[in-house]
Structure 1
Amino acid sequence: MTAELRELGQSDWEQWYATLERAFGVLAESREKRELWRDLTECERSIGAWDGDACVGTAGAFSFRVSVPGGAVLDTAAVTMVSVAATHRRRGLLTAMMRRQLDDVRARGEAVAILTASEPAIYGRFGYGTASYSLRLDIDTSRVGLAVPPGTDEVRLRYAVPVEVGPAREAVYARRVAGRPGMPARRPGWERLITLDPPGERDGASPQQCVLAERDGEVVGYALFAVKPEWGVQGPSGTVRVQDVEALDPVAYAALWRFLCDIDLTSTVLAMNRPVDDPVVQLVSDVRRCDPRVRDALYVRLVDVGAALQARTYQAPVDVVLDVEDAFCPWNEGRWRLVGDAKGASCERADAGGTAADLALSVRELGSVYLGGVPLTQLAGAGRVRELRRGAVAEASLAFGSAAAPWLPHSF
């Protein structure tokens, strides 16, 4: 490696970010978006690779707090803005930045790191495993109806200016975090990302709109969306682009989805990022007319295996010894005894005394199962987990599961 790695300085941000844009083939972003990312960038957690005066590599992390099974919210490193200039590929730059970053995460006492991958094949070698998926729905509202629960008509819906009702929306969101693994507890400033709406990026759609769901004067849900009008020889066929929907109870949730599916002059509701167990799938009359598609979303890396595994709870009692492989973070290598249930857990070293392992797997597989969205049995079926004690895979798989599928509601 010929480049020098150093902490990002404020004066270097523009060149550093331009390097990232070029690597992703992005034309210069809108002023609003650049200002937001500059404000959110934590320079002390960001790395630049420099070849002389030229920035040739970038990597950063945000200080997130993310929910895990059981409702705890963990300090987490949200890895972001990773790139290497095309002129400097295959020189070890990415590995060097990942090495420095994970060492820093460990020094900060964060047991878990997360990221979203531009290319899924890249990050497995650094110990990141696919831990959650997202659901895309294209609902043909000309053919699909909704069966809503009793009381839906009693929910009051009203339009609101998205930015002006930010505190009310964020209060609803905050109450939802503990119940679904993978959701970030948004720190101050991140609410700006949710309503970021540069005119140049609307692709013919309306400005962002917001509808609040209220009951007895209390905000119990909201929907953020835009409408793209379209007209054909047979009439209007606009699309409602759903950006976010949250509610505190099933009735308010159904009221919001019924509204979205019944907007005049539209025939499609497009939701690009929903949980794979989204209840709306059970509200629609014909799921095939919703064209559901699933893709990978959040990747998880356990930086401290013991601390991470004992920070969550387990939906069934578990007592298992894990033989963990982790060449990139060797402090995790070896046997760990995990004992836990729905009330809590402990995870201690089990290398001494000749303790036999029940399962053998890499830290990548632990990252995949950590939030409860990927069954351990599935990984074992693919040969990525070895069962050393009969029945251990089924027992551990049940314990690692989650009542709610993990979900990342927005990018970072």
Structure 2
Amino acid sequence: MATDEAGTGPVIRELRPQDWGPWYDNLIRAFGAVPEPAEERELWDALTEPTRSLGVWDGTECVGTAGAFSFRLTVPGGASVPAAGITMVSVAATHRRRGLLTAMMRRQLDDIRSWGEPLAVLTASEPDIYGRFGYAAGTFGLSAEIDTRRVRLSVPPGTDDVRLRYAVPAEVLDVCEAVYARRVPGRPGMLARQPGWERLGVLDPEESRDGGSPLQCVVAERDGEVTGYARFRTKLGWGPSGHDGTVTLVDLEGTDPATEAALWRFLFGIDLMARLVVRGRPVDEAWQFQVSDIRRCRLQLRDALYVRLVDVGAALGARTYQAPVDVVFEVEDAFCPWNTGRWRLSGDAKGAVCEPTTDAADLALTVRELGAAYLGGVSLTALGAAGRVRELREGALAEAAVGFGSPVAPWLPHGF
């Protein structure tokens, strides 16, 4: 595919600010052609980074899009690592099967490497597509529909010391964002938000409410300090047996277990509501172990953040390991061949080094398996049982799997 202005076919080039409109229109068309509310479109315009975004142009027509947000991602051990947030990827239906997507992925990963960012992450509309380019699911989200008329919640000591108050979401945005920032280092997969991203949490166009209320917010306080918040919508409903309303949780963060329990107890007890719907929550969140009947919570697990190691050595050296590791990986990476080869990883809870080596390999795998296991939510042992990791030295798989684990499950707090 042409990548210059020679007029020989579609051309990939960096996005110019004046081209954002047709660029974004192509994206919307590729995702069903349903127009977004003006305030949502304006927010994504403000968040788009033109110098990190690519467009494919066929003459004057935009036929492909791909962007890369500047993120910092929490990894096991608490470090905040630069990561390119791959987003807004589309190819016009008129230009499919011409290699445009592959060309954009090639250019994008080359750019990310040149920027010195060891990781690329995305949320996949079609996971099968991105596996070809080395991405693998590294975090999962838990969704539930809880029958709050029949499920009780047991709370830990100190919950009654937490005070809750209603607040206008936009008016408490700063204090809620401060709570979120305190939470980021404690869980792998969380994103340190750049200025402007906090607006995503209070985006509330009427068209997106599905008949529910405007966005509501309660703030949790203890000893005069804000320790948490919950944003949610309510939707009133009536059935043959009476009230049948729904609470939909949008966002919840608390800095301690008692605060989180107070917020969940509040959501369980809103008048005239019969169910609580939550989506994409951490898979190890405490409320699951506080409910009286987990079956009536209708749990569902779904893939969330896809991880791609752009620089194997830098990425593996950026995190820590919960048990000492000293392992040589034989890595295969067809799309980013600079990662192919043997890498010795030596590390523990204090730090790690990962460098090329000629030593005999202990484990053989592709860069996808490293991406899946990177944040500690997918076990290398499980990948080995699936035939995705080959053990070349007896005992090496179990040793590495323990080291790669995380005491808390990785979690993506919001999409992008």
Residue from 383, 397, 402 that aligns with 2:401? 397
How much does 1:283 deviate?
Answer: 1.2
Mapped to 2, the partners of 1:203 and 1:112 lie a distance apart of 36
The gaps in structure 1 that reach 5 residues or longer are none
Give the secondary structure class of the aligned counterpart of 2:169: coil
Mapped to 1, the partners of 2:243 and 2:18 lie a distance apart of 50
- How do 1:153-232 and structure 2 match up within 5 A? 153-232=160-239
* Segments of 4+ moved more than 6 angstroms: none
Mapped to 1, the partners of 2:100 and 2:382 lie a distance apart of 33
- 2:320–2:352 CA contact under 8 A, matched in 1: yes
Mapped to 2, the partners of 1:395 and 1:64 lie a distance apart of 31
Residue from 361, 364, 368 that aligns with 2:368? 364
TM normalised by structure 2 equals 0.98
Matched letter for residue 361 of structure 1? L
- Please tell me whether residue 320 in structure 1 is matched to residue 327 in structure 2: yes
- Please tell me whether residue 33 in structure 1 is matched to residue 40 in structure 2: yes
Give the secondary structure class of the aligned counterpart of 1:197: coil
Residues 192-220 of structure 1, C-alpha deviations (whole Å, 9 max, x = no match): 00110101110100000110110010001
Matched letter for residue 93 of structure 2? A
Give the secondary structure class of the aligned counterpart of 1:226: strand
Aligned to 1:247: 254
- Please tell me whether residue 144 in structure 1 is matched to residue 170 in structure 2: no
TM normalised by structure 1 equals 0.98
User: Which shows bigger deviation, 109-118 or 7-16?
Assistant: 7-16
- Please tell me whether residue 68 in structure 1 is matched to residue 72 in structure 2: no
- Please tell me whether residue 306 in structure 1 is matched to residue 295 in structure 2: no
Give the secondary structure class of the aligned counterpart of 2:90: strand
Mapped to 1, the partners of 2:87 and 2:114 lie a distance apart of 18
Give the secondary structure class of the aligned counterpart of 1:373: coil
How much does 1:26 deviate?
Answer: 3.4
- How do 1:274-353 and structure 2 match up within 5 A? 274-351=281-358
Give the secondary structure class of the aligned counterpart of 2:171: coil
Give the secondary structure class of the aligned counterpart of 2:285: coil
Aligned to 2:51: 44
Q: Percent identity?
A: 67
Mapped to 2, the partners of 1:154 and 1:11 lie a distance apart of 53
How much does 1:11 deviate?
Answer: 1.2
Residues 94-144 of structure 1, C-alpha deviations (whole Å, 9 max, x = no match): 000000000110000000000000011010111111101000011100110
Residues 201-249 of structure 1, C-alpha deviations (whole Å, 9 max, x = no match): 1010000011011001000111010001111222111100001111011
Aligned to 1:386: 390
Cα RMSD for the two superposed structures: 0.7
Matched letter for residue 39 of structure 2? E
- Please tell me whether residue 373 in structure 1 is matched to residue 373 in structure 2: no
Mapped to 1, the partners of 2:291 and 2:178 lie a distance apart of 28
Mapped to 2, the partners of 1:266 and 1:152 lie a distance apart of 22
Give the secondary structure class of the aligned counterpart of 2:83: strand
Aligned to 2:4: none
Mapped to 2, the partners of 1:129 and 1:391 lie a distance apart of 25
